[in-house]
Copies of this chain bind each other. A is one copy, B any other.
Amino acid sequence: MLNNKEWFTECYTNFGVGFGLQIKSKLHEEKSPFQSIAIYETTNFGNLMTIDDIVMLTSRDNFFYHEMMSHPVLFTHPNPKNVVIIGGGDCGTLKEVLKHPVTSVTQIDIDERVTRLAEIYFPELCTSNHDARANLLFLDGIRWMQEAKTGSVDVIIVDSTDPIGPAEGLFNRAFYEQCHRVLAADGILVQQSESPLIHQTLLRDMRMAMKDAQFSDLFTLPFPQPVYPSGWWSATMAAKKPLLSKFRRDDNLLKSLETKYYQFGLHEGALTPIPFLQEILK
């Protein structure tokens, strides 16, 4: 595994771990106004998208992330109708959300190029982009949230890159306060919250900022994500009132969703905290 043409390699020197995917060829590379985007064909993981040389997704294993960013929160909210996705440019989360009987999904990604490239290199994630309920905007999600109507949204999904670069402003109290304002009384925010093993400080800071922004109920749900640092990732839900310790586990909808990873058992199981995480997240 070398920094040569045969491997795309990512080194998290702060955490002392590295990860690589063997590649057949580089399919595309460009500098958008916001970031560098590259697409590779890998030997075993289908296509790979990187942003600023960080792995975003592969064809083979993105389903873990996209399902866990959408179904747990949508089965937790009593009746989600209006959903907002901040980020999510590859449209994989959007596709999962649209499997639910929502009335509108507004996706706000700052970089239209991510979506245009996903349409070409990850077409299977973009099959719902023209659903009548979907509204794809290419704007600054932070500003959009500042201008959004109070109490107008049921579920906010923050499907962003790491908290460096464009996404940095999505991981602080000011942003969470806007989300809290924009959510209806039983609204829920869910955000990708990095690795529960190697990003514990970030995870704790995020949760603290969510509490400071008056979210009273928090729930961090870990899941496998082989191409992300440590192979173990998480989504953190935040609600204005106690909603997160149960979900609509009798909803027959799941049977028709055709999920690959998500099932009610693992959602139920995650409601019992993992001992070492409970310590850390206290």
Contact = CB atoms under 8 A, between A and B. Distances in A.
A258 B278 CA distance: 13
Contacts of A252: none
B61 A197 contact: yes
A185 interface: no
A125 to B, nearest CB: 16
A255 to B, nearest CB: 11
Nearest to A14: B44
Interface string A1-27: 111000101110101111111100000
A151 to B, nearest CB: 34
A264 interface: yes
A61 B13 CA distance: 18
A186 to B, nearest CB: 25
Contacts of A13: 22
Contacts of A9: 1, 18
A260 interface: yes
B20 A1 contact: yes
Interface of A: 1-3, 7, 9-11, 13, 15-22, 42-45, 61, 63, 197-198, 222, 224-226, 230-232, 258-261, 263-276
Contacts of A274: 260-261, 263, 266
A228 B265 CA distance: 25
Contacts of A1: 1, 3, 9-11, 18, 20
Contacts of A263: 272-275
A50 to B, nearest CB: 15
Contact of A45 (B16, B19, B265): B16
A258 B1 CA distance: 38
Contact of A224 (B17, B231, B266): B231
A271 to B, nearest CB: 6
A282 to B, nearest CB: 15
Nearest to A222: B224
B232 A260 contact: no
Contacts of A272: 263-266
Nearest to A23: B16
